[in-house]
Amino acid sequence: MKPHLFEHGGISFRIDFHGNELGWEGRLFIEGHPTLQVVRVLNMTGTSEDEARRTIVKGCEALAADTPWSDVTKS
């Protein structure tokens, strides 16, 4: 799957998707920051790739909205 890019609070985020035996995994990064911020793993047995992508994107966007990122992004 292609990465998903979005912004929240002036910060750019990227979700990379990876398939594994458990289903699909979304890895949430802050653009330009070297550290992986969050790993979201969903057991997507029987779920289509499109449904898995939508679920992961919604979860990561909600997480970005609920997390105070100012401390993480300070140099």
What is the average per-residue pLDDT within 39-57?
77
Model pLDDT, residue 39: 64
pTM over 0.85: no
Using the predicted structure, report yes or no on whether residue 46 has a pLDDT greater than 80: no
Using the predicted structure, report yes or no on whether residue 25 has a pLDDT greater than 80: yes
Task: Report the C-alpha gap between 24 and 44 in whole angstroms.
Answer: 6
What is the average per-residue pLDDT within 28-41?
73
